[in-house]
Amino acid sequence: MELILKQDVENLGFKDDIVKVKNGYGRNFLIPNGFAVMATSSSKKVLAENLKQRAFKEQKLIEDAQKLAKEFGKLDIKIEAKAGVGNKLFGSVGTIELEAALGKAGKDIKRKAIKLAGGSVKVLGKHTASIRLHREVYTDLDFEVIKTAGEK
């Protein structure tokens, strides 16, 4: 079954992509939830016209995302967390904490765009996160998890 995605769907595609999925997935999940529409010949023509009109805007968004990616290399992100013996954290640092730290640094990045290796950080030290700024622009962000001020 061919569908046109109306919004980004994780592990499937991005908005306005034409994707092939199994019939049940399309009929029972994607279409009823408003994630996709059937890819008929008329809807493909409308999509092609919309994509032509959006091409210029898309290029501008890519350029802005690339500029933002360069700024991420200059950021010094430190996240405080409580730690015990052997520099192991009580709990973990995940995308929510990283989103908050980026917000304090003036960068509005949603947590769905942040990927951490292993899902979360459980030890003190320097780590790297992958951030999707645009469907074609990814960047790596280096950050450090430090002990909460006042801890030994």
Mean pLDDT on 97-118:
89
- Cite the DSSP H helix spans in 86-127: 95-104
Residue boundaries of the structural domains of the chain:
2-60, 70-147
- Judge contact between 98 and 72, C-beta under 8 A: no
Tell me the per-residue pLDDT of 116-139, one tens digit each, with 9 for 90 and over.
Answer: 988 888 999 999 999 998 888 899
**pTM as predicted:** 0.63
Q: Determine the Cα–Cα distance for residues 113 and 5; give it in Å rounded to an integer.
A: 19
Topology of the domain covering 70-147:
Ribosomal Protein L9; domain 2 (3.10.430)
b/e map 97-124, b = 16+ CB within 10 Å = bbbebbeeeebebeeeebebeeeebbeb
pLDDT band at 152 (very low <50, low <70, confident <90, very high): low
Quick check: 150 pLDDT over 80? no
Tell me the per-residue pLDDT of 18-68, one tens digit each, with 9 for 90 and over.
Answer: 999 999 999 999 999 999 999 999 999 999 988 888 888 888 889 988 898
Homologous superfamily (CATH) of 2-60 is Ribosomal protein L9, N-terminal domain (3.40.5.10)
Number of H helices, E strands in the chain: 3, 9
- Judge contact between 148 and 82, C-beta under 8 A: yes
